[in-house]
A and B are shown apart, each in its own frame.
Chain A
Amino acid sequence: MVSAVALLPPEVANQIAAGEVVERPASVMKELVENALDAGATTITVSIDGGGLARIAVTDDGLGMGVDDLALALLRHATSKIRSAEDLVGVGTYGFRGEALPSIASVSRTRVTSRARGTAEGNEAVVEGGATAVLRPAGCAEGTTVSVEDLFFNTPARRKFMRTPQTEGAACVEGLVRLAVAKPEVRFVVRRDGKVVREFLRHADVAARVRELLPDEPLAELRGSRGKVRVVALLGPPERARSGASHLMLYVNGRHVKDRLLLRAVAQAYGSTLESGRYPAGAVLVEVPPEDVDVNVHPQKTEVRFASQGAVFEAVMSVLRDAAATAPWAHAATRPRDFWTEHLSPGPAAPTHHLPDLVSHPASPRLEESPRLPTEQHVLAAFLGAAPDATDPWARLAAAPSPPAGYAESTRPSVPQMLAEPRHFDAGSARSELHGSTFGALRYVGQLRRMFLVCEGESGVVILDQHAAAERVTFERLRRSYLARSVPMQPLLVPERVELAADEVALVEERTEELLSVGLDLAPLGPTTVAVRAVPAMLLRADPRRLARDLIAELARQGNDFSKAVDLVLATMACHGSVRGGDEMAPEEVRALLLALDTVDFAGHCPHGRPVVFTLRWGELERKVGR
Chain B
Amino acid sequence: MPPILAIEKLSKSFPAVRAGDDVRALSDIDLFIEEGEIFGIIGKSGAGKSTLVRCINFLERPTSGEIVFNGVCLSSLSKAELYHTRQSMGMIFQQFNLLAQRNALRNICFPLEVAGWDRQKARQRASELLELVGMSDKAGAYPAQLSGGQRQRVAIARAIAANPRILLCDEATSALDPETTHSILALLKDINARYGITIIVITHEMPVIEQIATRLAVLDEGRIVEAGRTSEVFAAPQSEAARRMLVRPQHEDGLIAAAARRYFESQGMALEEVIRDYAQ
- Do A and B form a real pair? no
- Chain B residues in contact with chain A, CB under 8 A? none
Listed in ascending order, the chain A residues whose CB lies under 8 Å from chain B are none
